[in-house]
Structure 1
Amino acid sequence: MAAESEAHRAAAVFEVREPVLVRMASRPRGAAPATVDAAEPVSGARQLAADPLLGQAVRVASGSLAHSLARLTSDEGASTLGRKRTLSAARTLTRYARRAAARPTPFGLFAGVGTARFGSVAKAEPGTGEVAVRLDGAWLRRRVLAWLGEAAVRRRVDVVLNDLCFVRDGRLYLRTGAQEHSVRDNALVGAVRERARNPVPYADLLGSLTERFPALDAERLDGQLAGLLQHGFLLTSITPHRIDAPLLDGIETVLGGALPDDARALRDIRAACARHQDDPPGLGGDSWQDALDAVRRLDVPGTGDDAHARPPLHVDLHVPGEFVVPEAVGREVCRYAAAIWEITPQWTTLAYMRDYRERFIERYGTACAVPLGELVDPHRGLGLPSEYGAEPVYARSGPGDEADGPRRAMIGELLQEAVLSGGDLVLTDEVVGRLGEVAGHDPAAAPPRSLELCFQVLSESTAALDRGEFRLLGSPHIGAWTAGATAGRFAAAAGLTDELARLAAEGADDTVITAQVELMPHEPRGLNIVQVPRLLPHRIPIGVPDDRRDPRCLDWRSLLVAAGSDGLRLLDPRSGRPVRPVLPHMLALDTQAPPVARFLVDLATARPRVWSGWNWAGHDALPYLPRVRYGRVVAVPGRWLPGRRLRDAARAQGAGVWEQGLDAWRRRLAVPDRLQIARNDQMYPVDLRERWDRDLLRAELTAAHP
């Protein structure tokens, strides 16, 4: 009873907040089964592609698959495609179809997003889907760079020095991902750095350089500045960051005075996208093709010839309607979050920040505040954590020392009991209490201020949901340390901007500055993920054009870092107030963001205890792990790893070896008939009694990156 009452007291530390983002599959579960006869793959692929919404979703997602399916519509095209490519297209289409009817991963038209509220009676009344279309970030970035290659365009924009540049050993450097550019920091480059510290019209910058360096003619100076633009040392007022109407209006204005034909072409693209948005999902084939044609007419010469490439438009599906989640679901989520918090040991996540804090205190002490720009410079400060240069760092299973032995032993015991019984690993409140005792943490540690969790709600009907007959299945993507981050890129399409702004600012007062981190991804396609409206008054731009003279614009280089009682703190140098950075999207910071942006998030998050979901305490490599349940929450589903023997059988010639290897694997690990094939957060169901489904599994195991 003591453990149970402790768990109930802990549940009070978490409260649910709206908005609730609803992600729903676009293909009804009752749709025709996504199964193909391997002996006749053409007819099966044709039948699947006949679904209007699925066919349109494929055209939006994959130009190459859409091209293959178009060829399969005729017998002549099917014969030229060949059996191998036909089977490959049929498998890919099957995966898409099953994902679109099972787990709703938001991607194009395969899944829609909506909003829900908590209430006393469950409701699920979706309306007609609404398509939102915008230019693809990679396409627009490439097109803008080409426009900036024209002198007439450059002279109509403002420019500012990229704040990620730094000077070392007589050169100006800029690192973006794996690429590094540098130029000699000569008198000319130094003058550019000085003059473009704040936004300045390009024409004025060129004019001032012409006066300062009369020995260099204007054309040569213009060429030097153009090179700095192309390599990212200078950012412009039309450099894509937030791809919205103001940006496109600004580009049109610039082009109108320099390249009027291109300005008209851009207006044509926007009009074509608007027409496609007026069409219901699945019925906009003609308007979609019109929009694609309009974009490709404006392609950079030599880059738009491949009609099979990923389409240069980004599409989201918003599903309006009445969605109400019973309050009992919210209470169950709070209980689960509290239970996981109670058993979370110290430094299972972001352990490298513990070492970094110790190094900080050793060098600077506890009474010193260091400018962030100086701190992350390895020549003047500590540099960034060494892990940033290694492979992506994931949550560890435990502290990895002797102190974690009791926790590992107890989880191993629970695991063994579940395997021997053939059942689930059930976390009762008594078990949670015992795991909390061996976790080796400070029970008084403050829980996270903000947390976002993702679940699938499993119930037979809304009536059953109201009766409490439901299960919550934890997502492979468990959520985020910033509430609202998953919904961020859908804010405009789903009308969530105001609600997310309130959520981001919740708990803020005059003593703390809550600031939105705005960054430029390493890969231009990452721009599609960071399309979040401005939610907060203050912002921290990183590698994006901005005016740092604005008092609401916080220059990351000037922010101060100081040691706190359980981590490192970020301070505003002007007011001395703590700064809380907020990253309201799900860009992969370890691979896609400037390292200093990742460091800001780590500074805000890293504490001895960080909520990070269930972990197996080092038992992750076992070939079978049982399902883990707490109350009505399935924290993690049962999991079976293929193993080397099954992979070898999949690669063997002939079907006999594969079938024998599959049967042996299933007997050895008691693999059920029906399961999900999962890679990261992408999964789809298979039934291993079906030949086509076994073929799908074999194809996954023999893929280049299984």
Structure 2
Amino acid sequence: MSRYVPADFYLLRSPALPAETFREFMSDPDHTSDALLRLADAPEVRRAIFVASEGLAEGLTQLERMSPKSVARVYSRLWRYVTRMSTRPTPFGAFSGVAAGTFSGRTTARLETPVISSTRVRADMAWILACIKRLEDDHEIWRSLRIVRNATVHVSGDRVVLPHADVYGNSDRTSVRVRATPAVHTVLNAAATPVTYPELVDALTAAFPEATGPQKENLLQRLWDLNFLTSDLRPPQTTAQPEQYLLDGLAGIPQAAEVAERLREVVELVRHADDPASLARLRVAQEKLVPGYTGQTYQLDSAIGLRSDELNRSVGEAAADAVDVLMRLSAATGATNAHLRRYREEFLERYGHGVRVPVLELLGPDQGLDAPESYTEPTRTAGRLDSATDLEDTSSYDRAVVEFAHQAWREGMLEAELTDAWLDRLAPAATVGPLLPAVDLYLQIEATDRQAVDRGEWRAVLRADCLAHGGRTFGRFFDLLGDRLADQLRDLARWEQKLQPHVAYAEVAYLPTYGRAGNVAAHPDLGTYEIPVNTSPSVPADRVLPLDDILVGADDRRFHLWSRRLDREIVVTQHHMLSPLAAPNVARFLLEASQDGYVLPGGFHWGPVSNATFLPRVTRGNVVLRPAEWRLDAHGLEDLAAWRERWRVPRYVHFVNLDNRLLLDLDHPRCVAELREEVGRAGGGTVLLHEMLPDFEHHWLTDDLGRRYTEEIVVPVMATRSETIARHPAGPPVEIPSRRYPPGSEWSYVKLYAAFERHDEIIAGPLRELIAELRAEDAVDRWFYIRYADPRPHLRIRVRSERPSVLGRLATWGRSLVDAGLAQDVTMDSYCPETMRYGGPGTFDSVELLFEANSDATARLIAARADLPQLTDEHLAVAAVDTLHRHWGVPLAERMDLLPGHQDDHATRDEFRKARAYLCELLLPWDRSTHEEGRAHRMGIAAALAPQEPAVRAASAAVREAAERGRLAVPPAHLLGSLAHMQINRLLPVDLAREERCYGLLRHTLRALRGRLAAEEAR
């Protein structure tokens, strides 16, 4: 049963021209150019081209005066535009449009003629911001505006920092700092909500009566010029007509009367703009208002007309099933933000578990960690983050997908069915992590007509980029599609909230660094809280969460965000398709941190065979998860016909470049020429071609005249149960500050960089000898070590002592190992205890003593490996973790449920089957049958680990007491899981995939032992 259900509505996307148009103007290669010119003269095509490129529209009237090269360029662009207008449903100006429909028991959806029923024009956001800049640059006007503090401003030491100074969408990545003087604080506090200029002057006068008028004016002007202060003229993202909002903001300002009058003309022209002539008048008026502006001045979206909007609900049900499968595959391919995982590790290293840090402080380079890697708004100034892990282990998926492809190649199949058996190979059910609450799925329906859909004679066709976060696809069109759609999107948001009643949802509102990208950020007000970053809020003040209200915490599994005011976890969302990569760092981080711990949406991916010349169509039931595809290089292009015959490439294919798709007829010289250009741009690489699905005979959507159209359906699907989306819960905010022990304090901490292959040698020899010497001199109170990689492998050795000389001893010892060739480098660092990860202040002292006992025991065990021949690393880890559980006091029957990790692949099961008797003996003797090698290894391991038992039992008692008193910061099972992880870490070089296998082997062994005990009790 699917873990998702479809919404009762969908979005229909369709181009303005029938699909057959493409074949008509391509039918005669000798007359394709003439056919294109005739099409370009049609009113709907002329308008679409004018909106997309006035330069091309002008060029079409000047062909006789152009050079042959220029003419060829015009025809190439015209061909691409008309091809798009007849074959690509993605919304773009007047080339294609959108409509909302409903699922029901039948399919009646049919297009009106003409297809584009209406358009909506609004001022381009880049032009709006340029107009605002003109206003705010005027000395007289800005002092008449309502003024507000930039939301990203925060204090760092003796400076007030503006991490992202751009407020006009000019891609300005400048960061600004000013001295945090009392006067600056007074101004910024007074401008926490919009105020007038006189009110700011009054605030300064009240705080500093001795200050002169020019001093106050100069301070305010400086903070304004540096963008610490801005106005409230920036339109909220829930505003359908930003030019009207801007005009309203100028009401009652005499200094802006002339601008307001011209803007009023723009507003009036926007209302009636539709054809090229009216659009040209609008552009002229906008350019007069903002002289020197050279970009696009307006933005147009189109609605398509439907005679009826019903679509058989079986399509929605298939969409829900497909999303379930794709999210399972995404979990197996490690679909997470790797840079965020590295950042989370650094967060825990610096701050520890349970500690909450203000988000602006965290992202700052002064007192925080700086931005995560790959963030560019502004760019991270610190170096690469330390990390024990870089990439998810996808080796199991990679092996399976290679076999899946090889089977199709071996049998010459154009289509490969993803059966249940193959799905289990690629993505075992146990690998599924928490699911996103809502997802949008993009699909096309392959059917001969509407009746075929109702008869079940259809297939859904997906692409590689077929998933998006739920509801985002619809946001930009909310004003175009009416109140009904907005209500449906609110229902979807309420469904999400119902699934997670313990969290508060908040929309992050921001202007992107590239102003024009703001056009796609429009969305309806869905009733959530809002976090404005560098734009005006669109909700009442009681629903605004300022950035300085937001705290960031983390555990081993995810980040979580917390609102001080609400005293609860918040999930930050956006209901539009603007890429967070273009967002200010704080907005991007809030979005990515809110997704941390979820499986991120993605389509079917071929992994290590993605660059193969041919890959088959992938199907599952009546869903095409990915079309067949080919990669063409310059060599194949030399004899395209032979290449097509060898690889069975059809006549019609899509050229695919990221999310851009262009239909090609490989029998047509023009398409071959276009393909040749693309191969040339690839610079020695390949270009990607996808088969055309559906083909021309399987476009089911028709208009009043019976002409067939390409379509795309966007189906929102929602998780059915809270359990499927549940992530590791965030605990309440912790007020205990994280302790830091810098070099020279009671804790000395060295990083000894050495190859993983030398770690055991160092631990068993020089490290044990060093600790023994320090203990003999009574110079060490406690100590422990862990293995790490940042990404260079090293040992982290921490020693507590009252003697300052111990730090020098550690440095000298490390240098001697470097000189001897055992290590590569040695460095000092500060020790930040992970107090909250291990239960809190009431338990950490006993846990730290356990660290020492486990370090001693594990070092002793590593040294004794020579006495345990044939003992593998994985089997040693299995025994060591089970010994920890036994010392902790966990009954054998309960241990399996407390293991971290979830891997249960074929390789792990096979390994257990081969070593079942040995592994069972390794953990528990059996009188009926003794495995001698397992018995010998069990006794040797037990002897080495026995000295740690008192410390383990003491820590276990401390944890139980803290839990009984309600003082335990993490669930006991999570704490024990962390200790198990540290046991394997001390025992084996860092390898998370191998650690997962160890847990899998232990899980199988415990299951077998439970079965054995149950059978014996039954006797």
User: Same fold judged by TM-score > 0.5?
Assistant: yes
1:538 CA displacement = 1.1
Tell me which protein shows more helix as a share of its residues: 2
Q: Which amino acid aligns with 1:459?
A: A
- 2:105 is matched with which residue? 120
Q: Does 1:377 align with 2:367?
A: no
* Equivalent of 1:557 in 537, 545, 548: 548
Give the counterpart of 2:261 among 254, 260, 264: 264
Partner of 2:324: 338
Other structure's SS at 2:624 match: strand
Distance (whole Å) between structure 2 residues aligned to residue 645 and residue 358 of structure 1: 46
List per-residue Cα deviations over 1:205-234 (Å, max 9, x = no partner). Answer: 25655785977655x865764565455332
The change in CA–CA distance for 1:412 and 1:383 in structure 2 (over 3 A counts) is: same
Residue 293 of structure 1 deviates from its aligned partner by 2.7
TM alignment of 1:509-520, pairs within 5 A? 511-520=502-511
CA distance in 1, matches of 2:219, 2:149: 14
The answer to whether the Cα contact below 8 Å between 1:566 and 1:608 also exists between their aligned partners in 2 is: no
Code of the aligned partner of 1:273: V
Flag the 1:179–1:492 CA change in 2: closer, same or farther, 3 A: same
Q: Which moved more, 1:78-87 or 1:220-229?
A: 220-229
Between the aligned partners of 1:538 and 1:402, the Cα distance in structure 2 is 34
- Match for residue 90 of structure 1? 75
**Aligned partner of 1:671 among 649, 652, 659:** 649
Task: Give the alignment partner of residue 493 of structure 2, picking from 504, 507, 513.
Answer: 504
Q: CA deviation at 1:42?
A: 6.2
Matched, 1:600 2:590: yes
Distance 1:455 1:230, change over 3 A: farther
Q: Match of 2:327, as an amino acid? A: W
**Partners of 1:249 and 1:617 in 2: CA distance:** 48
The structural deviation recorded for 1:250 is 4.9
Given that 2:236 and 2:538 are in contact with CA atoms closer than 8 Å, whether structure 1 keeps it comes out as: no
Deviation readout 1:60-97 (Å, 9 max, x if unpaired): 111221221232xxxxxx23222112111111111111
Partner of 2:944: none
Secondary structure of the equivalent of 2:174? strand
- Aligned match for 1:179, one of 145, 151, 173: 173
Q: Is the Cα contact below 8 Å between 2:332 and 2:426 reproduced in 1?
A: no
For 1:182-193, what aligned pairs fall within 5 Å after superposition? 182=176, 184-185=178-179, 187=181, 189-193=184-188
- Residue 455 of structure 1 and its aligned partner are, at CA, apart by 0.9
- Secondary structure, in 3 states, of the residue corresponding to 1:433? helix
Matched, 1:353 2:340: yes
Counterpart code for 1:198:
T
Q: Which residue of the partner structure matches residue 136 of structure 1?
A: 124
Q: Does 1:79 align with 2:57?
A: no
Q: What residue is the counterpart of 1:313 in the other structure?
A: 298
Identity %: 26
**Per-residue Cα deviation, 1:483-506 (whole angstroms, up to 9, x for no partner):** 110111111111222221221222
Q: Which amino acid aligns with 1:408?
A: D
Q: How does 1:94-493 map to 2 (within 5 A)?
A: 94-127=79-112, 129-166=117-154, 170=159, 172-175=161-164, 176=166, 179-182=173-176, 184-185=178-179, 187=181, 189-206=184-201, 208=203, 212=208, 218=214, 225=220, 228-229=223-224, 232-242=227-237, 243-245=239-241, 248-252=244-248, 254=250, 257-276=254-273, 284-298=275-289, 300-304=290-294, 311-321=296-306, 322-343=308-329, 344-345=331-332, 347-389=334-376, 404-420=394-410, 421-437=412-428, 441-443=430-432, 445-481=433-469, 483-493=470-480
Would you say the 8 A contact 2:130–2:293 is kept in 1?
no
The answer to whether the 8 Å contact 2:531/2:537 transfers is no
Alignment-derived partner of residue 62 in structure 1: 53
Amino acid at match of 2:179: D
Kindly state the Cα deviation for residue 703 of structure 1 after the two structures are TM-superposed. Answer: 4.8
Unaligned runs of 5+ in 2: 380-388, 688-1019
Pairs within 5 Å for 1:681-700:
681-700=659-678
Against the structure 1 CA distance between its residues 521 and 36, is the aligned structure 2 distance closer, same or farther, given a 3 Å change threshold?
A: farther
Alignment of 1:647-658 (within 5 A): none
Structure 1 residues 36 and 45 mapped into 2: Cα distance closer, same or farther (>3 Å)? farther
Does residue 23 (structure 1) correspond to residue 9 (structure 2)? The answer is: no
Please give the alpha-carbon distance, in whole angstroms, between the structure 2 residues aligned to 1:26 and 1:229.
47
Superposed displacement of residue 523, structure 1: 0.8
Q: How many residues align?
A: 654
- Superposed CA deviations along residues 296-327 of structure 1, whole A, max 9, x for unmatched, are 332x22335xxxxx541100001243222211
Q: CA, structure 1 residues 391+600, in 2 after alignment: closer, same or farther (shift >3 Å)?
A: closer
CA distance in 1, matches of 2:537, 2:317: 43
- Do the aligned partners of residues 346 and 217 (structure 1) sit closer, same or farther apart at CA in structure 2, a change above 3 Å counting? same
Shift of 1:116: 1.1
Q: Distance in 2 between matches of 1:227 and 1:457?
A: 59
* Structure 1 position 132, deviation (Å): 0.4
Q: Secondary structure of the residue that 1:238 maps to in structure 2?
A: coil
Letter in 1 for 2:77: T
1:158–1:202 Cα contact (<8 Å) kept? yes
| CA spacing shift, 1:269–1:403, aligned 2, 3 Å | closer
- Report the Cα distance in structure 1 between the residues aligned to 2:601 and 2:565, rounded to whole angstroms: 32
CA shift digits 1:322-343 (9 cap, x unpaired): 2222111112112222222334
Alpha-carbon distance in 2 for matches of 1:174, 1:192: 18
- Distance (Å, rounded) in 2 between the aligned partners of 1:665 and 1:223: 72
C-alpha distance in 1 between matches for 2:591 and 2:425: 32
Q: What CA distance in whole angstroms lies between the structure 1 residues aligned with 2:209 and 2:642?
A: 78
Structure 1 residues 375 and 303, CA, compared in 2 at 3 Å: closer, same or farther?
closer
Query: 1:181 Cα shift?
Result: 4.3
> 1:401 offset after TM fit, Å?
7.4
SS of the counterpart of 1:89? helix
- Pick closer, same or farther for the CA change 1:65–1:316 going to 2, 3 Å: same
Name the CA shift for 1:246/1:611 in 2 (closer, same or farther; >3 Å): closer
Change (3 A) 1:583 1:377: same
Q: 1:342-375, CA deviations, whole angstroms, 9 ceiling, x for partnerless residues?
A: 3431633213333333333333333323322232
Q: Rate the CA distance shift 1:179–1:388 in 2: closer, same or farther, 3 A.
A: closer
Mean alpha-carbon deviation: is it higher for 126-135 or for 501-510? 501-510
**Shift in CA distance, 164/38, structure 1 to aligned 2, threshold 3 Å:** farther
CA deviation map 1:616-673 (0-9, x unaligned): 2322222322221111222122222233546xxxxxxxxxxx7x35345435544332
Q: Which has the higher contact order (CA 8 A, sep 6+)?
A: 1
**In structure 2, distance between residues paired with 1:262 and 1:631:** 61
Superposed displacement of residue 606, structure 1 = 2.1
Kept after mapping to 1: 8 A contact 2:465/2:659? yes
For residue 142 of structure 1, report the CA deviation from its aligned partner: 0.4
Sort the Cα spacing of 1:113 and 1:54 in 2 relative to 1 into closer, same or farther, 3 A: same
Equivalent residue in structure 2 for 1:528, among 486, 510, 519: 519
> Following the alignment from structure 1 to structure 2, what is the Cα–Cα distance between the partners of residues 641 and 349?
27
Cα displacement (A) at 1:272: 1.5
Q: Which whole-Å CA distance do the structure 2 matches of 1:401 and 1:249 have between them? A: 46
Secondary structure of the corresponding residue to residue 586 of structure 1: coil
Alignment CA distance shift 1:347-1:384 (3 Å): farther
How far residue 191 of structure 1 moved from its aligned partner, in angstroms, is: 4.5
Correspondence list, 1:568-647, <5 A = 568-590=559-581, 592-607=582-597, 609-645=599-635
Residues 401 and 642 (structure 1), Cα distance of their counterparts in 2 relative to 1, 3 Å cut: same
CA RMSD of aligned residues (A): 3.2
SS of residue paired to 2:649:
coil
